[in-house]
Amino acid sequence: MNIKLIQRFGKIFYLITGFTLFLIGLILDVIGKNVGPVFAQVDLIKIGAFVAFYLFIQSYWKRESIPLKRLTAILILGTVVLGISLLLAVAIGTEFEFKGSSLIPNNYSTIFISNALAVIIGVAAIIFILLLKDILVYKPRRYTKRNFLILVIGLLAATFSAISLNPYESRLITTILFGIFVVLILINSFRMPWIVFLKKREKVLTIVFTFSILVILTALSIIFQDNSSAGKSILYFSHSLKYFVDGTFLFVLLYSLIAFLSTIFHLPTSDTFDRKMSEVASLHNLSKLVTQVLDFNELVDSVTGMTLQVCEAKSSWLEIIQPAEKLKNLKPEQSGIYVAAQKNISVLDINHINLSSSFTLRSSVINDRKPVMIDDFKNDSRTEQLSNLGSKIGSILAVPLIARNELVGILYATKETEYGFDREDLEVISAFADQAAVAVDNSRLIEKSFERERLMREMNLAQEMQKKLLPQSIPNIEHIELEAFSSPAFEVGGDYYDFMMIDDKRLAIVIGDVSGKGVSAAFYMAEMKGVFQSLCKIYPSPKDFLINANQAISSSIDKRSFISLIYAVLDIETGVVTSARAGHCPFILAKESDVSFIRPNGIGLGMGNSELFAKYIQESQTQLKSGDAVIFFTDGITVAHTKDGDEFGYSRLLEAIKNNRNNSAIDIRDAIILSVNKYMQNQPPHDDITLIILKWLRN
């Protein structure tokens, strides 16, 4: 057999035992109808029945931790018991004759009614005790359970000491034990920590319930007093049970009385207590605000919601003042202040309040940075012109949200009644507003750092992209030295250069500068690379190439942006350089005789319409001799400047080239860079710098 079955069987066993013992008692009562108890220990059997009933009830008992629910149960049980008792004992009635200190029932109906009453009232008493126990051990202290156990032992001791006592006899030991029990009741009954934590409404309910219990228990006590019909029935059944029932009634009565009185004493402070409780709850919620800073809408929603809670306001709304740096980008018609969240009030009403007249709560808070409280909205001189809102608003409160000395918002709360807010409300909302301000501020800081992070990532991405767009290696060609150098000024530059062998005897060189920086520059650069790689083999003539490149670029480039470019093609057999220029700074030809700029006409890519571009573009041809160098560069070199703003310029560049003309390409490159760096006195470069050096060594 499994354990559950044994347990269930055990429970049923209790019930069967109880009823068996009870029936035996009943039979013995019937047998001894005219002579009194058949033997003195009949009581033991009857008490035994109740012990079995107790065990049965106990096995089904579920603890309930809410005292108010237990009080309700006591009230219902008391009412039911009172009803049944009235029906049995008063309406039907019992008749007894005195025989010494014993009672002799007049008829069998009296015996049955007595037994029925006894079992009902006895079981009820057991349940009363169990219910009270649940209330008493709410929020237990160290000795709570022990004290209650002593109380029950006291009651049982008094009960058992009265075994086989005749109805109207008394026993000294029982009287003493019952006296001790009453003292124990008093010790236990002052334990009611649960009352303090009740809300006002619950306290009122408690008062009603405890008072009703008092009335009902008093009625029960009267009905079951020793000389009444019902009292006699119980005394006849068992004097011990009478002590148990009387003791229980007394316990319930005293506990209810004390609970009733202390709840009444707590009632006046309950408003304060309620508020303190909700303040504690709100402050607890406030700590949650910190975690909500990731979602601004959720944050402002919580702030208004909690404002309603803290001061029991009718409506509440939060206006957010835009930070100064954001205001710059706003058009004049957009104001820097907006309603971020509202509760129980329409934006229409809010605007009405803020637009009305010379005085507004908003301007007052902005100017003074102090809370404004209007006790009588309808009649106050500051707001009387808004009296059409008077039915909705009795009093209103506006407090500033200040974080790091910056006014970040205004929190409003309204009540329907005049003089609805007191000093404590103001203090609580102000404290609350301070917390909310910190949360709003944090939220903004996080947003800002996210934004910065995002830009950083974008920049890094563009930088990576740009690196990949520049050639990874330089073509290695016999009798030609080719060197390149490129350094972006900061994260992403707009300089571009590339090489490509058009066929086995022609080298294409491109150098350019995309206007703008950052991601857009990297994007146009990528487009330029695509154009270069696809068009250079189709249009080997630099002029044709640039005309077609302009068409391709113009269709997609922003009208504020352009690309300056030089496209040059070197015939590696003959040493002829053919070039065309689209708005780029001229390139330099360093010959033995002199150093000069090559500057054919041409407009930047993406600047004008295609016809004008084609009309003005020119092509230039140069024959290289052994030892000649060609230097392509971007304007980062010529606009490099000192702290005072003096530019490196073209003449210094020419000078540096002239002095190094006979050196190798790599030496010329290094000499130019050194010269520029020296001139800038190690200032960080203002613009991207790109250099291509080509040295022709074929005879």
Nearer to another protein, 603 or 665 (CB): 603
Three-state SS sequence of 437-449: HHHHHHHHHHHHH
**Of the two residues 540 and 608, which places its CB atom closer to another protein in the complex?**
608
Residue 133 or 517: the one with the smaller Cβ distance to another protein is 517
DSSP character for 594? -
Minimum CB distance to another protein, residue 460 (Å): 20
User: How many other CB atoms sit within 10 Å of the CB of residue 5?
Assistant: 9
Measured from the CB atom, the residue of 301 and 647 that comes closer to another protein is 647
Query: With b meaning 16 or more CB within 10 Å and e meaning fewer, what string describes 72-82?
Result: bbbbebbeebb
Least distance (Å) between residue 632 CB and another protein: 14
What's the min distance (Å) between Cβ of 559 and another protein? 5
- Could you give the CA distance from residue 566 to residue 486 in angstroms, rounded to a whole number? 16
3-state secondary structure of 353: helix
User: 118 or 692, CB closer to another protein?
Assistant: 692
Indicate the residue among 516 and 627 with the shorter CB distance to another protein: 516
**Residue placing its CB nearer to another protein in the complex, 374 or 607:** 607
Q: Give the nearest distance from C-beta 274 to another protein in angstroms.
A: 57
Q: Which is nearer to another protein, 191 or 581 (CB)?
A: 581
Q: Is residue 429 classed as helix, strand or coil in its secondary structure? A: helix
Q: Which is nearer to another protein, 284 or 331 (CB)?
A: 331
Minimum CB separation of residue 583 from another protein in Å reads 4
Looking at beta carbons only, is 215 or 639 nearer to another protein?
639
Of the two residues 421 and 648, which places its CB atom closer to another protein in the complex? Answer: 648
Least Å distance, CB 528 to another protein, is: 15
Alpha carbon 42 to its chain centroid, in Å, reads 69
Residues 6+ apart with CB under 8 A from 315: 308, 342, 343, 344, 345, 392, 393, 413, 414
CB 318 within 8 A of CB 339: yes
The residue type of 417 is T
If we measure between CA atoms, which residue out of 42, 49, 12 comes closest to residue 27?
Answer: 42
We find the least distance from the C-beta atom of residue 587 to another protein, in angstroms, to be 12
Q: Among 89, 87, 106, 88, which residue's Cα sits nearest to residue 97?
A: 106
Q: What DSSP string describes 358-409?
A: S--HHHHHHHH-S-EEES-TTT-TTTGGGGGGTTT-SEEEEEEEEETTEEEE
Q: Name the minimum Å distance from CB 361 to another protein.
A: 35
Half-sphere exposure of 97 (CA within 13 A, CB side): 8
Tokens representing 633? Answer: 């560069």
The terminus-to-terminus CA distance of the chain in angstroms comes to: 113
Question: What torsion do the CA atoms of 331, 334, 337, 341 make, to the nearest 10 degrees?
Answer: -130
C-beta of 151 vs 631, nearer to another protein: 631
Distance CA 202, CA 207 (A): 9
Shortest Cβ 426–another protein spacing (Å): 45
Q: Which CB, 437 or 514, lies closer to another protein? A: 514
Please check whether residue 410 is in contact with residue 362, taking contact to mean a CB–CB distance below 8 angstroms.
yes
CA distances to 90, 313, 662, 693 from 388, in Å = 66, 20, 93, 82
Query: For binding to another protein (CB under 8 A), which residues are involved?
Result: 494, 513, 515-517, 559-562, 564, 582-586, 601-604, 607-608, 612, 616, 635, 645, 647
In contact, 406 and 445? CB cutoff 8 Å? no
CB of 676 to another protein, least distance (A): 18
State the Cα–Cα distance between residues 387 and 620, nearest whole angstrom: 84
Give least dist CB 635 to another protein, A. 8
Tokens linked to 645: 């703003």
CB of 581 to another protein, least distance (A): 9
Distance CA 629, CA 669 (A): 11
Considering beta carbons, is residue 122 or 512 the nearer one to another protein? 512
| CA nearest neighbour of 440 among 572, 308, 286, 583 | 286
Minimum distance between the CB of residue 652 and another protein, rounded to whole angstroms? 14
Which residue in the block uniquely carries the two structure tokens 């290695």?
Answer: 476
Considering the complex, what minimum distance in angstroms separates the CB of residue 608 from another protein? Answer: 5
